[in-house]
Structure 1
Amino acid sequence: MTTFVLIPGMCHGGWCFDELAGQLRHHGHRVHALTLTGLGGVNLDTHIHQVTAALAAEDVHDAVLVGHSYGGMVITGAADRAPDRVTSLVYLDAVVPRGGDSMWKLVTDNERRWYLDVEESGFGVRPLPFFDPRATAHPLASLLQPIRLTGDLAHIRRNVYVYASGWPGESPFTSTYLRLSKDPSWITHALDSGHNLMRDAPQDLVKILLQSA
């Protein structure tokens, strides 16, 4: 049995993994799909601490952390801060930061324009109109804060990247996928899917995650 910890991207909650989590549980695995804390006073460190605290509270070891989009920032930080609890990282059409990188730095100008569409409080980035009705505003501070890494993540036994090739326009993750696909220490996949891989390609994702178990 493997423990999967699923981290959503911007504006989404653990509910976006419902189908994927159900199938992983059907195969006998333990799954925690987290909803990250939102708005005032919340930054990237808040979200990383939330994940490491959940790992500690559940006494999880040998976890596979799965991060979608912005979730790549979070799983990278959590693996750095809880090296005794994480063995594999799976990035779902996500950023893969190095120390000092921020979400703002790693995306395209088009994505940055979206980030500046904040709600009246000034704290949260509005969900895009085509998002699931359950989507909520995402804390802007978490997108601007650079990640602080203390190590080189050498303890991670398996690094997996899943790229969505079906974006309607320019994908902010193409350069990341091309770079990692040439790196022998990474396992990469490209799926004919939109950015929301969990909705558009759940069966393919289940197969990939089971290989990471």
Structure 2
Amino acid sequence: MPAGSEDPENRALSPFVLLHGGRHGGWCWKRTAARLRSAGHAVYTPTLTGLGERSHLLSPAIGLDTHIQDLVGVFGYEDVDDAVLVAHSYGGMVACGAMERVADRVRALVLVDGYLPRAGESMMDLVDPATAEYTMDLAARDGEGWFLPPTDAAVWGVTDPADNAWVNGKTTAHPLKTYRDPVGPTDRAWAHPGVFIECLVPAAIRVPTARPRERAAVDRRFRYWTLEAPHDAMITAPHALAEKLRAASRLDPR
């Protein structure tokens, strides 16, 4: 074997950092994380400020930078290195912002139906105008103008009655400011090896896919994969998603 090369079968398994999307928490990765751990990976499932078990901290002051700092802190305090950073939905905004500070510790960035912003864009800039208007109206009507209330899990494609009840019992309100704040630099996210996984089963929530498709067509280190699952694939198809994530961990990052 040439000097400096690495046998992917012999290297230590990369840890995973699994980042949830809006109104979710680290809890949503429970099933997928269990499968990754059973395969020998270390797995971290942080919850962003104001959500999940941290919902008691919800306030109008929580913005995108707060959530970026949450994610950066996981890498620093848990000594995470050579990780596969996986971001779902809104979590893509957070992960792309955080990459400016943690890219050296990330083996691959994986977006699961996640947003892929350029510097200066907010999530509201990336959704279609009708969705942006609906989101603002919802916050004004049912969120005191500054938060988004929980919604039925069927919106994310969770239709099994037991799963739907479980998710509905755990989703929380989400601070609107995080959707409206522009992200800072994202150059390192765009320059990094990565994967976009599109969830193909129709759901009310659909993220823009044109940008990652175009990037995959010209960037040999960025792949575009698909998964036969709805938006909340970590809940409805944990085994299939875990297999995709493990495949991402084995990609050559060079």
TM-score under structure 1 length normalisation = 0.91
Once the two structures are TM-superposed, the CA of residue 106 in structure 1 deviates from its matched residue by: 0.5
Q: Deviations over 1:50-86 (max 9, x none)?
A: 1111110011111211100000011111111223322
1:80 paired with 2:100, answer: yes
**1:56-95, aligned counterparts within 5 Å?**
56-95=76-115
1:160 paired with 2:195, answer: yes
Counterpart residue identity of residue 77, structure 2: A
TM-score under structure 2 length normalisation = 0.77
- Report the secondary structure of 1:49's partner residue: helix
**1:40-55, aligned counterparts within 5 Å?**
40=59, 41-55=61-75
- Report the secondary structure of 1:88's partner residue: strand
Larger Rg: 2
2:225 matched to which residue of 1?
Answer: 189
Once the two structures are TM-superposed, the CA of residue 153 in structure 1 deviates from its matched residue by: 3.9
CA distance in 2, matches of 1:195, 1:154: 23
Among 188, 203, 206, the alignment partner of 2:239 is: 203
Higher percent of residues as strand: 1
Q: How many residues align?
A: 212
2:16 matched to which residue of 1?
Answer: 4
CA distance in 2, matches of 1:80, 1:169: 31
1:125 paired with 2:162, answer: no
Give the 3 Å change call, closer, same or farther, for CA 71–154 of structure 1 in structure 2: closer
1:138 paired with 2:203, answer: no
Is the contact between residue 191 and residue 201 of structure 1 (CA under 8 Å) also seen in structure 2? no
Counterpart residue identity of residue 2, structure 1: S
CA distance in 2, matches of 1:129, 1:75: 25
CA distance in 2, matches of 1:68, 1:10: 9
Once the two structures are TM-superposed, the CA of residue 166 in structure 1 deviates from its matched residue by: 1.6
Shifted more, 176-185 versus 87-96: the winner is 176-185
- Report the secondary structure of 2:108's partner residue: strand
Q: Deviations over 1:145-173 (max 9, x none)?
A: 111016444763x2000001222468332
CA distance in 1, matches of 2:190, 2:107: 10
Once the two structures are TM-superposed, the CA of residue 201 in structure 1 deviates from its matched residue by: 2.3
Once the two structures are TM-superposed, the CA of residue 138 in structure 1 deviates from its matched residue by: 0.7
Q: Which runs of 5+ in 1 are unaligned?
A: none
Higher percent of residues as helix: 2
Is the contact between residue 117 and residue 186 of structure 2 (CA under 8 Å) also seen in structure 1? no
Residue identity over aligned pairs, in percent, reads 35
CA distance in 2, matches of 1:164, 1:47: 24
CA RMSD of superposed structures (Å): 2.0
Q: Which runs of 5+ in 2 are unaligned?
A: 1-12, 51-57, 155-166, 250-254
Once the two structures are TM-superposed, the CA of residue 34 in structure 1 deviates from its matched residue by: 1.2
Give the 3 Å change call, closer, same or farther, for CA 75–120 of structure 1 in structure 2: closer
Shifted more, 122-131 versus 17-26: the winner is 122-131
